[in-house]
Chain A
Amino acid sequence: MKVYYKTLRDLPREELFAPGHRMCAGCGAAIAMRWITKTIGPNAVIVNATGCVEVTTTPYPETAWMHPYIHVAFENSAAVASGVEAAIKTLKKKGRWDAGDSKVVVIAGDGGTYDIGLQSLSGMLERRHGVLYILYDNEAYMNTGIQRSGSTPKYAWTTTTPVGTALRGKVQWKKDIMGIVMAHRVPYAATASVAYILDMVNKIKTALDYTEEGPTFLHIFAPCVPGWRYPENKTVEIARLAVETGYFPLYEWDHGKLKLNPPSNNHLDKSKRKPLKEYLKLQGRFAHLTEQEIAEIEKELDAYWEYLGKLTQL
C-alpha cells in the first residue's frame, strides 16, 4: 500500500455522501460509504449492486450519491462496471469523454459478491477491467431481512439459520473470498475495516491507482446493527475487536505478495490476539454458542492464520 494519508489530519474533509439517507443508526456500511466516496474523489462513476446500501440511499426522488451512480440489479454490478469502463475507454479514444481520468468503482454487499454476483465478478477480474470493486461485508443478506450468505460465519444466527434443537445457526464456514479474488492474479486486493479508517483510505486510494493496471478489490468489514444484534453504538468497537481477536485480519495482496498490516502483522503469534470470545460475546447472533463451539471456531481460525502465515512467505 502506498501511504497517501499519514495522519487523520491529512484525510479529505469534503463530504461526498449526503446525510438524510435511510441506513440504520450506527450502520457500519454507512461509515464505509462515507470514506469510500471521500477518498475516491468526485471523478468516479459508482456502480452499486442491489442490497442495503442501494435501497437506503436512493429513495426516489432523493439520492445520497453525489457521484454519477448506477444500480442495475443484484448479481451483475461487475458486468455493468465492465461496460462503464469499456465505454469510458472507447469514448476517450474517440474524443467524446469530457470528464478526464474518471475511475469506475463497484460497491456490493457480501450476497452480491460471494454468492449471486461471483460469476460476473470473476468475469470482470479475468478480463482485467480497470475497476475497483469494493465489497462491504455485513455477513448476511441484510436488505431482505438477515438471511445467511456464503459470507455468514459458522454458527451465526440468521433468519434462515435459526438456532434450533437440531441445528445451531449456520452449518458451514465462511467462504474465503479474498482467496478467490487473489487466484485471479489481480494487481491488488486488500481487507479493511471501518474501525481502521486510515488503513482503509490508504488502501482505497492504492487500489484506485492500481486500476490503471487492471481490476482491484477491497473487502471491507462492516458490522450491521440489527443483523448482528448488538447496540448501535458498538459498531466500531465490534469491528475493532474483529481485527484484534484475529477474526478479520487486515492484509493486502500487492502484485503477488501478501502482507499483513498493523495491528494484524503482530497476530501470527496467537498470544498477541485477544481471545475470540471478546468479539463474539458482544453480538446476539452468537449468544447461543457453547464453549465447545467457540473452541471449534477458534481452531478453524488458528488454521486460517497458519495458512495466512504461509502466504506471507510466498
Chain B
Amino acid sequence: MSLPKASELPIGAVIPEPGSTRRNKTAGWRTLKPVIHDDRCVRCQLCWLYCPEGTIVEIKGVFKVNGRTYDTKYEINYDYCKGCGICANECPTKAIEMVPEAP
C-alpha cells in the first residue's frame, strides 16, 4: 500500500473523519471470547453498561426466552471485542462464558 504524499494530506495533521478508528478491527486482540447464553440472560444491562469498547449491542424486538418475553437482547460485536472479560465478570447470572479463541 502506498501512503499519501505530504501535499495530499490535510494541513496540520487534522483528522477530518470522526470515529475513524472503526477501520481498525481489534478482534485479533482476543485470546478469550465472550459468549452470551441468552437463556440465562435476565436483561440487567450490566454487560452493555460496563463494556469498555461499547461492543455489546442492544437489539430491540420481541424475544421469548424460557417462557418470559423481553423487548431487548444483548449481542456482541466481535469485530471490536478485545476479550477483556469484564462483561462475564459483572454478569449476575453468569450468562456470559469466556471461551478460548480458536488458535
Contact = CB atoms under 8 A, between A and B. Distances in A.
Answer yes or no: A and B touching, Cβ < 8 Å: yes
A62 interface: yes
Q: Interface centre among B13, B29, B84, by most A CB within 10 Å?
A: B84
Interface of B: 13, 15, 17-26, 29-30, 44-45, 49-55, 58, 77, 79-80, 82-86, 88-90, 98
Interface in A1-59: 8-9, 11, 13, 15, 17-23, 25-28, 30-31, 34, 57-59
A27 B26 CA distance: 14
Q: Interface centre among A59, A197, A235, by most B CB within 10 Å?
A: A235
B85 A19 contact: no
A197 B85 contact: no
A201 B83 CA distance: 25
Contact of B80 (A8, A19, A65): A19
B26 A66 contact: no
B21 A18 contact: yes
8 closest cross-chain pairs (CB), A and B: A233-B85, A20-B21, A26-B84, A18-B19, A30-B52, A19-B80, A25-B82, A20-B24
A35 B63 CA distance: 27
Interface in A90-141: none
A112 B13 CA distance: 23
A197 B49 contact: yes
A34 B86 contact: no
A13 B19 CA distance: 16
Nearest to B3: A61
Contacts of B52: 23, 25-28, 30-31, 34, 235
A62 B29 contact: no
Given A19-B26, A19-B53, A63 B84 contact: no
A156 interface: no
A289 to B, nearest CB: 24
B49 A20 contact: no
B9 to A, nearest CB: 8
